[in-house]
Structure 1
Amino acid sequence: MKECSRSLFLPSNATSVEEDRFLARSRIYSDMDLEERWLRISGRGSKDDPSSPMNEPVSLGESTIEAVDSFTYLGSVIHRDGQSSQDVQSCLAKASRVFGSLRVPAFENRSLSLCCRHRAYIALVLTTLLYGTETWMPKAPDLRSLNAFHHQCVHIIVGISRRDQWDNRVTSITMARTLGIDCDVADIIREYRLRWLGHVGRMNDDRMPKRVLFGELPATRPHHGPRKRWCDVIMDDLRSISPPVPSDCWFDAAQDRSAWRQVAHRRPPARAPPDPDSGFHCACGKVCRRPGDLKRHAPYCKANS
């Protein structure tokens, strides 16, 4: 295995001292050749080509393991293309079944306090929905699906209908804060990823997750818009939080577990409030940001009734 590329975790304007310290840490993994041990990864060939190394069966003693497109391991769906979309859909289906089984006896039961319903939702539904998110690389459609399911559950638990939401101008963020949730699904996934990054950074040097994190495959990556890797996503997470964490300082900061937990809990900077003079105005006084919002608001507008 090659030494870790300095472009993954080290900025281009880093000093020579920072580069020497980074390369000295990555040399620990240079003599651990994964191809000569039990892990073999090939970047050549196509999954549609029967002669590709990716489709060759693996012999393990007297048994033969066939090549498949995806399989389930420890509750997570592992796909051959490395994407998380199938795992996201699997977690959505599981969380939907859990919420549906508890909807009438728990979440729509007004005899239970809102705090009790909130704790049940966090412990049973949200943990099922976000199982294994530390290794996810979700795309924008995946995040929209997760947020849509989360907001729908919050609607049912709080007991506010769509009509009441439009009439009282209650946003989904306000309802989530009423339930005691002050962040969306993307923020929770980012926090889980950063906590896992710190955990891997504190591992011993001979542990496989740490070797894979600082390792590099010998095959070159394509130049025409390659897919984001987990290390690319985690670097975006470090830059998006406020205040951001420099890419060459996270390893030293992660050695302190309590301090790194506070770093993982950081959120991106808040968006500026919309300008009341801009947007699309309704006769009732509501200001919409987009024409589609104004069109959806029209059937529920009191001025049109």
Structure 2
Amino acid sequence: MKINKRKTNVQVVSRREHKALDIRVGGEKIKKVEEFKYLGSLITRDGRSQKEIRSRIEQAKRIFFQKGKVLRAKIDLGVRLRFLRAYVWSVALYGCKTWTIGTLDRKRIEDFKLWCYRRMLRIKWTEKVRNEEVLKRIKGDRVIWKTLVKRRARMIGNNLKHPGMLATVLEGMVEGKNWKGRPRQSYEDQILKDTGCKSFVEMQRLAQKRQEWRDATH
């Protein structure tokens, strides 16, 4: 295997601050970074998804402005919603299957959905239209969140049915003591919540039954 020293960086994923690393390739020190892009997704030192979610939403907003003429045109609303999902939400939800989403992150995603709806309907902020009224006019609710959950469940279901590296990571245990304070929400916890399972073993058994898994995650 050949390594390009100029394009190679190292990163320590941890809550604690670490001293400078001294990793060398061919006598040349490799640069340590706090975050980097991998396959379009932002990987940060703290192992959280907040920066990636914010970055995705900002990118999706730029796409919305680029496609604004179509999304705000006087054509059938259903057609414009399909354009919204194809052009804008596809950017916002890229890589969402691997996110660990907290309460604030979910609110940020839901707020982005309403941001899109308000601009599609040409609602000015001075009109003071409530979110409930916006959803009533758009005839939809929680579509973006349901899409996210379905994508996440589909990926997890496939990996649990066909054991591989990701399944091994999900089943693995991290050595060491828990950090002081309230524990973070784990990726596994949110999958258990999606499926209604009480344990990883129960979820693993459910994934072997395709129809039951689909019923639990739709």
Alignment-derived partner of residue 215 in structure 1? 172
Alignment-derived partner of residue 182 in structure 2? 225
Is contact 2:56–2:91 with CA below 8 Å preserved after alignment?
yes
Ranked by relative contact order (alpha carbons within 8 Å, sequence separation 6 or more), the top structure is 1
Is contact 1:155–1:175 with CA below 8 Å preserved after alignment?
no
- Alpha-carbon deviation of 1:170? 5.3
TM-score after normalising by structure 1: 0.59
Question: For 1:78, which of 43, 49, 52 is the aligned residue?
Answer: 43
Instruction: Go from structure 1 to structure 2 and tell me whether the alpha carbon gap of 1:132 and 1:61 turns closer, same or farther (over 3 Å shift).
Output: farther
Instruction: Go from structure 1 to structure 2 and tell me whether the alpha carbon gap of 1:175 and 1:45 turns closer, same or farther (over 3 Å shift).
Output: closer
Is contact 2:153–2:217 with CA below 8 Å preserved after alignment?
yes
Instruction: Classify the secondary structure of the residue corresponding to 2:175.
Output: coil
The reply on whether 1:261 has 2:214 as its aligned counterpart is yes
Gaps of 5+ in 2: 1-10
Instruction: Go from structure 1 to structure 2 and tell me whether the alpha carbon gap of 1:60 and 1:256 turns closer, same or farther (over 3 Å shift).
Output: farther
Question: For 1:46, which of 12, 16, 20 is the aligned residue?
Answer: 16
Any residues of structure 2 matched to 1:157-172 within 5 Å, and which? 157-161=120-124, 163=127, 165=129, 171-172=133-134
The reply on whether 1:245 has 2:203 as its aligned counterpart is no
- Alpha-carbon deviation of 1:186? 3.7
Instruction: Classify the secondary structure of the residue corresponding to 2:173.
Output: coil
Is contact 2:43–2:52 with CA below 8 Å preserved after alignment?
yes
Instruction: Go from structure 1 to structure 2 and tell me whether the alpha carbon gap of 1:116 and 1:216 turns closer, same or farther (over 3 Å shift).
Output: same
Q: Deviation digits for residues 108-135 of structure 1, max 9, x if unmatched?
A: 111x322221111011101111111111
Instruction: Go from structure 1 to structure 2 and tell me whether the alpha carbon gap of 1:164 and 1:221 turns closer, same or farther (over 3 Å shift).
Output: closer
CA distance in structure 1 between the aligned counterparts of 2:181 and 2:132, rounded to whole angstroms:
44
- Alpha-carbon deviation of 1:230? 1.2
- Alpha-carbon deviation of 1:137? 1.5
Instruction: Classify the secondary structure of the residue corresponding to 1:71.
Output: strand
- Alpha-carbon deviation of 1:223? 4.6
Instruction: Classify the secondary structure of the residue corresponding to 1:235.
Output: helix
What letter is aligned with 2:183?
A: P
Instruction: Go from structure 1 to structure 2 and tell me whether the alpha carbon gap of 1:93 and 1:211 turns closer, same or farther (over 3 Å shift).
Output: same
What letter is aligned with 1:201?
A: L
Is contact 1:195–1:260 with CA below 8 Å preserved after alignment?
no
Any residues of structure 2 matched to 1:92-131 within 5 Å, and which? 92-104=57-69, 106-110=70-74, 112-131=75-94
Instruction: Classify the secondary structure of the residue corresponding to 1:77.
Output: strand
How many residues matched?
206
CA distance in structure 2 between the aligned counterparts of 1:212 and 1:45, rounded to whole angstroms:
19
What letter is aligned with 2:136?
A: T
Instruction: Go from structure 1 to structure 2 and tell me whether the alpha carbon gap of 1:88 and 1:43 turns closer, same or farther (over 3 Å shift).
Output: closer
Q: Deviation digits for residues 215-273 of structure 1, max 9, x if unmatched?
A: 112222235322222112322333xxxxx3342422122123344233211xxxxxxxx
CA distance in structure 2 between the aligned counterparts of 1:214 and 1:258, rounded to whole angstroms:
23
Is contact 2:102–2:185 with CA below 8 Å preserved after alignment?
no
Any residues of structure 2 matched to 1:54-65 within 5 Å, and which? 55-59=20-24, 64-65=29-30
Alignment-derived partner of residue 96 in structure 2? 133
Is contact 2:13–2:44 with CA below 8 Å preserved after alignment?
no
Alignment-derived partner of residue 8 in structure 2? none
RMSD: 2.9
Share of identical aligned residues, percent? 25
CA distance in structure 2 between the aligned counterparts of 1:90 and 1:45, rounded to whole angstroms:
21
- Higher-Rg structure is 1
What letter is aligned with 2:181?
A: H
Instruction: Classify the secondary structure of the residue corresponding to 1:171.
Output: helix
CA distance in structure 2 between the aligned counterparts of 1:235 and 1:60, rounded to whole angstroms:
42
CA distance in structure 2 between the aligned counterparts of 1:103 and 1:235, rounded to whole angstroms:
38
Question: For 2:149, which of 186, 190, 209 is the aligned residue?
Answer: 190
